[in-house]
Amino acid sequence: MRRLKRIRCFILYTVFLGICLLASDNSDAFFFEDMDIKPRATLKQAFDDNVTFSNEKEKEDFVTTLSAGLDVGYEGKTRSFEITGDIKQQIYAQESEFNNISQALGMNFRKEFSKYDRIHVTNAFTHSEEPTSFEDAFGKTSGRYSYNRNIFNAEYIRDVSKHVSLQGRYGNESYRASRSDVRDSLSHSVGFDVNYIRSSATNYLFGYDFITHHIDDSGTATVHTVSTGFRHFLTKQLYADARAGVSFVDAFDESNTSEPNVIVAVTNDFNETDSASLSYRKTNMPSLYAVDIFDSWRVTASLSRQLLERLRTTVSVFFGEGNFEALSINDKQTGVNAQLSYDVSKDAVAFLSFIYSDIDSNINTRSYDRNLIEVGTRISF
């Protein structure tokens, strides 16, 4: 009952926030008939060879997933918003005790106050029983359990001159798991960037971020990060991003350390439908899943390509290594996600996907591998 109340609170918070932002002023005429509303539904059948995310109690099963969603959008002269909602029912052929219902709700709001200043606000709530991405699984406590996660971010951008802009930001994230050995956590972050636009091809930045991460009954860790970076367009569609600095970490056990913080990415937007990216990320941050600092690096690569007029493929690859310093845990994770989708009609898409995950840890109970094959269809109304 307590967990259901938390879910309702997060959902109501997201919807309420969107309504407040839309009602913030009346500079745009806003009517319900101006909104773009798109219902959708998905049906898929999957074979999962490790529904327990474990190497000791590994079980395989066929899983039927039914989901319904709604996309609501509005775009005016000076503001726009999007609200997306999904509810998903998973039915297990053999392990019926794993049957579950999950929810996701997202909000994206943009507002221009003038030609010089604007805001961007997002909120994403997820209630699920399994990781929604390789990033979510990275460093996760092993085993199967449900969790609630809410991520809020707000940023304000001010163009000071033709070449200089300022960006201030605030964010918070809450995480609550159903297992008692995974404690609830709450983090807050504030920061700013100073951007110098040298030319249409190159801009530089200097930034600062402060993060405080609290875990119930376990104290608080803080991180100060100072960084500098740039974005440079090599061609009209090919560009590189780099951001490097140092993080000063005060851990839960009151120890102090300073570690490099690096993000490097190369992106090629071939055209409106095709793109590719490669990124490297090195961070030293408090863990969502344990009372510890997670020192990690990861490499991700993705490719999205229109093979034929109706046939499309997307492929993503993930590899990362992370250390829980106080717990002396080392995890290595490999992941591959490949999907083919075919436009059956204007409103219907059929898809076939394969997902492979492998966790290799020095703690045997944390290690597992998983193969997931899915086939299904998505329909928009």
Cβ distance 213 to 185 under 8 Å? yes
Residue 173, classed as helix, strand or coil, is strand
Cβ distance 154 to 119 under 8 Å? yes
Whether the per-residue pLDDT at 1 is higher than 50: the answer is no
Q: How far apart are CA 240 and CA 218, in angstroms?
A: 40
DSSP for 228-249 reads EEEEEESSSSEEEEEEEEEEEE
3-state SS of the chain: helix, strand, coil percent to 5? 10, 65, 25
Chain CA centroid to CA 211, Å: 18
The pLDDT tens digits for 302-334 are: 999 999 999 999 999 999 999 998 889 999 999
What integer pLDDT is reported at residue 16 of this predicted model? 54
CATH 3.30.70 fits 2-380, yes or no: no
Q: Nearest to residue 359, comparing CAs of 146, 129, 53, 145?
A: 53
The pLDDT tens digits for 8-29 are: 555 555 555 555 555 555 544 4
What integer pLDDT is reported at residue 13 of this predicted model? 54
pTM of this structure: 0.88
Whether the per-residue pLDDT at 74 is higher than 80: the answer is yes
Residue 80, classed as helix, strand or coil, is strand
Q: Nearest to residue 278, comparing CAs of 296, 298, 259, 292?
A: 298
Q: CB under 8 Å to 264, separation ≥6 — which residues? A: 240, 241, 242, 243, 279, 280, 281
What integer pLDDT is reported at residue 2 of this predicted model? 47
Half-sphere exposure in the Cβ direction for 45 (13 Å, CA): 2
Q: Residues of 268-278 as b/e, b for ≥16 C-beta within 10 angstroms?
A: eeeeeeebbbb
The pLDDT tens digits for 115-143 are: 999 999 999 999 999 888 999 999 998 88
Least confident among 27-36, 164-173, 304-313: 27-36
CA distances from 238 to 126, 270, 280, 324 (A): 33, 8, 17, 36
Q: Cβ of 365: how many Cβ atoms within 10 Å?
A: 11
Residue 4: band (very low, low, confident or very high) from pLDDT cuts 50, 70, 90: very low
The pLDDT tens digits for 294-309 are: 999 999 999 999 999 9
The pLDDT tens digits for 183-192 are: 899 999 999 9
Q: How far apart are CA 11 and CA 256, in angstroms?
A: 37
The pLDDT tens digits for 209-252 are: 999 999 988 899 999 999 999 999 999 999 999 999 999 999 99
Q: How far apart are CA 96 and CA 43, in angstroms?
A: 18
The residues with which 239 forms a beta bridge, in sequence order, are 233, 267
Residue 181: band (very low, low, confident or very high) from pLDDT cuts 50, 70, 90: confident
pLDDT, average across residues 348-367: 96
Domain ranges of the chain: 2-380
